[in-house]
Structure 1
C-alpha cells in the first residue's frame, strides 16, 4: 500500500518534501512499528546537520548579491571581448557569459531567469530569432549543474557521503566538454541561418570591459581556487564569495546598498529552506528504502538484464530522463540517489563521482523538457517567446547534451581524471 500512497501523492501535485515525509509516516503506521514515530523528528534533523549543506544558502546568496550588484552585465561585457567578433557573436557571448555565471550561481533555474532578462532582448535587437535567443540562454543554464560550484553536486555529495570539493573538481572537464559542444551547435546554426557577424571591440573598449570585470572575476576565483588549493572547504569558499560579492557591489560598482541586504537574506532563506526541508524529509524517507530493501531488489532485477557498466548507465540515463521530465531535478536527485548509487558502486564498480556527474546533468534536462519543464517556462516568461518556439530551436542543444552524456557514461576518466 505504501508505494500506492507515494505515487498518489507524487502525481497529486503535493510538494515533494511532503510526499517523502507523509510516505514515511504512512509506512511506519502500516508496519505497526509505531515506536519509530518517537525518533521521527530526530531523523529529520540528522538529515540536515551536515556542515556541507550550509553551502546551499551561501551560494544562493552569492548569486543574489551578484544580480543586485551589477556584476552580471559586466561579465557579459567581458565575454564580448573574447567572442563578440565571430559570426553569431552574441550567441557566443551568451554561452560564455553563462559559463561565467555557472561558476558563481550553481542553480540552472536562477541562471536561466537572470540571463534571459539580460541576453534575449539584446540578441533580438541585433536580428536574432527570439526563439533561438531564448533557447541559447536556456541551454546555457544547463552548465550550472556541471560547472562548479553546483547545488546538485553539494546535495549529491551529502547523500553519497563523498567530499563536496572533489565532486566540484569532477565537474570541471564535463563542464568544459558541454561548453564546447554548445559552441559547435551555435557555429553550425550560425552558418546555416547566416547569423549576423559581430564586431570586435576596439582595444580601449576591450581593456575597459576587462578592467570593469576584474572585481567580479574574483568571485569564481575565490570559490574554485580556494577549493582546488585546499585553502577552504566549499562552504567556506561560498561564505567568502558572498562577502566579496557584497563588497564589490557596494564599494566598487556602487549598485548595491546595505539597506537591500534584508530583502536578499529573506529571499535566500525562503529558497534555501525549500531545498533543505526536502533533504530532511528524504532522510526520513530513507527508512522506507532501507526496510523495503529497494536497492537490493532493483539491483537483482537490473543485473539479471546486464553485467556491463555502460549498459547499466544507459538504462539509468533512460530512467532518469523520464523521472526528470516529471519531477524537479533536486527532488529527483534526493529520491533516486539512495536507491541507484549502491547498485552502481556495489554491482557495477562505477565511480561515485562519475555517477554523480551523469545523474546531475541528466536530471537537469528535465528543466527544458515537457511536461514539467520549469526552465522552459522561465525562459518563455522572461523572453516573451512561446515554448513551442523555444523547443524548435532547442533540440540541437539537447542532442549535444545527449552525446555528452554518452561520452561521460562510457569514459569514466572524463569525470575522474583531475581527482
Structure 2
C-alpha cells in the first residue's frame, strides 16, 4: 500500500518534501511499529544537522547579490574579448558567459533566467534565430550543476557522506568537456545556417572590458580557489564569495543599493528552506528505504541483468532520464541517491564521485524536457519564444549531453582525475 500512496501523491502534484514525509508516516502506521513515531522528528532534524548544508543558502545569496550588483553584464563583455570575433561569436559569448555564471551561481534555473534576459535580445538584434538564441542560453544553464560550485553537488555530497570540496573537483573536467561539446554544436549549426560574423574588440575596448570584469572574477576565484588549494571549505568559500559580491556591487560598481538586502535575504531564506526541508524529509524516507532493504532487493534484480559497471550506468541513465522528466532535479537526487548509490558502490565498485556527476547532469536534463521542464518554461517566459520553438533548436545540445553522459559513464577518470 505504501508504494501506491507514494505514487498517488506524486501524480496529484503534492510537493516532494510533503510526499516523502507523509509516505514515511504512512509506512510507520501501516507497519504497526509505533515506536518509530517517537524518533520521527529527531530523524528529520538529524538529516539537516550537517555543516555542509550551510553552503546552499550562501551560494543562493551570492547569486542574488551578483545579479543586483551588475556583474552579469560585465562578465558578458569579458567573454566578448575571447570569442566575440568568431563567426557566430555572440553564440560563443553566450556559452562562455554561461561558464562564468556557472562558477558563481550554482543553480541552473537561476542561471537560465538571468542569461535569457541578458543574451536572447542581444542575439536576436544581431540576426540570430530567436529560438536558437533561447535554446543556446537554456543549454548553457546545464553547466551550472556540473561546474563548481553546484547546489546539486552540495546536496549529493551530504547524502553520500563524501567531502563536498572533492565533489566540486570531480565536476571540473566534466564541465569543461560539456562546454567543448556545446561549442562543437554551435560551430556545426553555425556552419549550416551561416551565422553572422562577430567583431573583435580593439585593444582599448578589450582592456576596458577585462578591467571592468576583474572584480567580478574574484567571486569564482574565491569559491573554486579556496576549495582547490584547501584554504577554505565550500561553506566558508560561499560565505566569502557572498561578502565579495556585496562589496563589489555596492562599493566598486556602485549598482547595488543596501536597501535591497532585506528582499534578497527573504528570497534566499524562502528558496533555501524549501530545499533544506526536502533533505530533512528525505532522511526519514531513506530510513524507511533502509528498513525495507530496498537497495538490496533492487541490487539483486539489476545484478541478475548485468555485472558490467558501464552497462549498469547506462541502465541508470535511462532510469534517471525518465525520473528527471517528471520530478525536479534536486528533489530527484534527494530521493534516488539513498537507493542507487549503495548498489553502485557495493555491487559495481563505482566511485561515488563518478556516480554523483553522472546523476547530477542526467537529472538536470529534466529542466529542459517536458512534461515538467521548468528550465524550458523559464527560458520561454524570459525570451518570448514558445517551448516548442526552443525544443526544435535544442535537440543538438541534448544529443551532445547524451554523448557526454556516455563518456562520463565509460571513463571514471574524467570525474576522479583531479581528486587527490
TM-score scaled by structure 2? 0.99
| 2:295 aligned partner | 295
Partner of 1:368: 368
CA displacement at 1:287 relative to structure 2: 2.1
Matches within 5 A, 1:210-229: 210-229=210-229
Deviations 1:127-148 (A, max 9, x none): 1111000000000000000000
Aligned equivalent of 1:158: 158
Q: Output aligned runs, 1:54-73, within 5 Å.
A: 54-73=54-73
Asked if residue 2 in structure 1 is aligned to residue 2 in structure 2, the reply is yes
Deviation, 1:35, is 1.5
User: What residue number does 1:83 align with?
Assistant: 83
Once residues 7 and 292 of structure 1 are traced to their aligned partners in structure 2, the CA distance between those partners, rounded to angstroms, is 17
SS at match of 1:117: helix
Deviation, structure 1 residue 85: 0.3
Give every structure 1 segment of 4 or more consecutive aligned residues whose post-TM-superposition deviation is greater than 4 Å: none
Instruction: State the 1:301 CA deviation.
Output: 0.1
For 1:207 and 1:403, how far apart are their aligned partners in 2? 37
In structure 1, the partner of 2:107 is 107
| Deviates most, 280-289 or 361-370 | 280-289
| Pairing 1:232–2:222 present | no
Q: Deviations over 1:145-193 (max 9, x none)?
A: 0000000000000000000000000000000000000000000011100
Q: How many residues align?
A: 419
In the superposition, the TM-score normalised over structure 1's length comes to: 1.00
Which residues of 2 match residues 103-252 of structure 1 at below 5 A?
103-252=103-252
Deviations 1:253-311 (A, max 9, x none): 00001111111000000100110000000001112201111100000000000000000
In structure 2, distance between residues paired with 1:315 and 1:306: 10
* Separation in 2, partners of 1:39, 1:306: 39
Counterpart-to-counterpart distance in 1, 2:343 and 2:290: 13
Per-residue deviation, residues 356-382 of structure 1 (Å, max 9, x unmatched): 000000000000001100000000000
* C-alpha deviation, 1:224, in angstroms: 0.3
Alignment match, 1:275: 275
Distance 1:55 1:287 in 2: 24
Distance 1:9 1:83 in 2: 48
Distance in 2 (alpha carbons) for counterparts of 1:348 and 1:73: 46
**Secondary structure at the residue paired with 2:345?**
helix
Q: Which runs of 5+ in 2 are unaligned?
A: none
Provide, for residues 229-251 of structure 1, a one-character-per-residue CA deviation record: whole Å limited to 9, x for no partner: 10000000000000000000000
Pairwise CA distance, 1:37? 1.1
Counterpart mapping for 1:338-357 below 5 A: 338-357=338-357
RMSD value over aligned CA atoms? Answer: 0.4
Which residue does 2:330 correspond to in 1? 330
Residues 379-415 of structure 1: CA distance to partner in whole angstroms, max 9, x if unpaired? 0000000111100000000000000000000000000
Q: How far off is 1:252 after superposition? A: 0.3
